[in-house]
Amino acid sequence: MNQDNFRTITPYVPGIQPGFADMIKLNTNENPYPPSPKVIEASEKFNAADLRLYPSVDVGPLRDALAAYHGFDRGCVFVGVGSDDVLATIFQACFNSGRALLFPEITYSFYEVWARLYNIKAEKIPLRSDFTIDADAYIGVENGGIVIANPNAPTSIAMSGSDIERIIVNNPDNVVVIDEAYVDFGGESVLEFVRKYDNLIVVRTFSKSRSLAGARIGYCVACPELISVIEAVRNSINSYTNNRPSIEMGVASVGDEKYFRDTIAKVIKTRERLTGELKELGFNVLPSSANFLFAEPPAMLSAAEVYEGLAEKHIYVRHFKIKGIDNFLRITVGTDEQIDTMLSEVRKMLKK
């Protein structure tokens, strides 16, 4: 076979998915709690005979539910198969100027993968030495668009809404994408700014705060003109994206605000306890506004050693072999019980 026919690309590598029944999985920022009982009910009520029919072209019922939930017209909402799908579609639709797309040097590594895949020039902007994002570095720089995760991943640190607003206001000719995958756990959302700024796209996911990673639902909110551009690209690839059961489960999730708020509060409470206990053990823990921590072990142990030691016990956290962050671990906030098991293994390693 002639290899010239093939596209070679280094893909994004997600956290490993080992199949052990006894494992504690704290490596992909999933929610440790199940989705709302209303979601479970919707999945049980789903009539599999309906699968002979295609789902609605524009994810209709879920798009309407999200528009009503946030108080926007349906023309301001686009729904995709997880926020990865939404972001990939935005990359194809909105960054075609030939100028460089700006994003932080340390951030969700899929941004760089999509830039390469779609031949978008990219410029990575260094973080400050404390791992925060410097808003001024995105102002007065020629660019063809900006993507920022807020809170950022894997650092877990949030940026203020006013800093993001400065970036939006000072880049009126380019699209600014704010990826709010983790915002429900404590970040300041800029969703309301969509009413004021037509260059802003806010991306959200059901995978984290709504415990629906397996249903693959993401969406974005922006002015109708931008949503039409994004929809045109999606409808040039695949008209039917989200499947029927996940649309119904998504609608049920949006309808259970109390469960949503209660689950978030539980995760935040455990996060704060975990932060305190890791600090007591000598870890340097960055201030988290997400459902995960980014933490550096005390000097006697490297992050790689802690990662290996935990993996031997079937406890999985994430370790990135990337310069500048290779002595950090990204630890998803699990249940209190999971966190206690992990902490007791860490204590054994530290002989404490």
Using CB under 6 A as the binding rule, whether residue 26 contacts ligand PMP is answered as no
Judged by CB under 6 A, which of 153, 176, 215, 293 binds ligand PMP?
A: 153
Q: Which is nearer to ligand PMP, 264 or 346 (by Cβ)?
A: 264
Contact assessment for residue 47 and residue 190, using Cβ atoms and an 8 Å cutoff: no
Q: How many helices, marked H, and strands, marked E, lie in the chain?
A: 10, 12
Distance of CA 308 to CAs 123, 169, 259, 305, 317, Å? 33, 45, 36, 5, 10
Using CB under 6 A as the binding rule, whether residue 83 contacts ligand PMP is answered as yes
Give the nearest distance from C-beta 280 to ligand PMP in angstroms.
Answer: 28
Judged by CB under 6 A, which of 82, 104, 144, 297 binds ligand PMP?
A: 82
Q: Which is nearer to ligand PMP, 213 or 343 (by Cβ)?
A: 213
Give dist(CA 220, CA 191) in Å, integer.
9
Using CB under 6 A as the binding rule, whether residue 338 contacts ligand PMP is answered as no
Long-range pairs, 45-54, Cβ under 8 A, ≥24: 45/248, 46/244, 46/245, 46/248, 50/244, 51/244, 53/244, 54/240
Q: How many residues does the chain have?
A: 352
Using CB under 6 A as the binding rule, whether residue 84 contacts ligand PMP is answered as yes
Q: Which is nearer to ligand PMP, 179 or 248 (by Cβ)?
A: 179
E strand map for the chain: 24-25, 77-80, 101-104, 122-125, 146-149, 176-179, 200-205, 218-221, 284-285, 292-296, 315-316, 329-332
Residue nearest to ligand PMP (CB): 82
Using CB under 6 A as the binding rule, whether residue 181 contacts ligand PMP is answered as yes
Q: Site size for ligand PMP, by CB under 6 A?
A: 12
Give the nearest distance from C-beta 155 to ligand PMP in angstroms.
Answer: 11
Contact assessment for residue 80 and residue 218, using Cβ atoms and an 8 Å cutoff: yes
Q: Which is nearer to ligand PMP, 81 or 252 (by Cβ)?
A: 81
E strand map for 16-62: 24-25
Give dist(CA 162, CA 141) in Å, integer.
19
Q: Which is nearer to ligand PMP, 183 or 306 (by Cβ)?
A: 183
Using CB under 6 A as the binding rule, whether residue 270 contacts ligand PMP is answered as no
Q: Which is nearer to ligand PMP, 181 or 342 (by Cβ)?
A: 181
| Residues 93-152 within binding reach of ligand PMP (CB under 6 A) | 108, 149
Judged by CB under 6 A, which of 135, 191, 213, 304 binds ligand PMP?
A: 213
Give the nearest distance from C-beta 53 to ligand PMP in angstroms.
Answer: 25
Q: Which is nearer to ligand PMP, 82 or 297 (by Cβ)?
A: 82
- Which residues contact ligand PMP by CB under 6 A? 82-84, 108, 149, 153, 179, 181, 205, 207, 213, 218
